[in-house]
Amino acid sequence: MLQLRLSDEERAALSAAAEREQLATAAWAALTLSAAANGTPREEYRELWEALEAVMQARGQAQRIGVNLNQAVAALNSGEVSSTLQWYADAAARTVRKLDDLAEELRRRLP
């Protein structure tokens, strides 16, 4: 049996967190502490972690596209006509749409 000493403010914060997830405070605390001790996210947050991973991948893609787009614009400004400029612009637009979709998905999933 585990006993915790909490201030009134701490107890209220834990109770509010448990209520948001429709759990008893002790059940919420047990799930949260077990997950932290095991170094694994709680099962109900697994989808959010997967979505975060997708956002991080899209961010990396956007960064690489941005570097290539900057190079293409620099070549264009020096008088070279780059046939890849439109491709990079389209890829950037697709990546931004993907990030928008992922952000909306995360917004819907968060409590």
Phi/psi of residue 79, nearest 5 degrees? 100, -10
Closest to 29 in 3D by CA, of 39, 40, 16, 46: 16
Rounded (5°) CA angle 98-46-24? 130
pLDDT of residue 94: 85
pLDDT of residue 77: 82
- The model's pLDDT over 39-71, given as tens digits with 9 standing for 90+, comes to 776 666 777 777 778 888 888 888 888 888 888
Q: Which of 30-34, 77-81, 107-111 has the highest mean pLDDT?
A: 30-34
- Binned at pLDDT 50, 70 and 90, residue 9 comes out as very high
Element (H, E) at 75: helix 46-77
- Binned at pLDDT 50, 70 and 90, residue 111 comes out as low
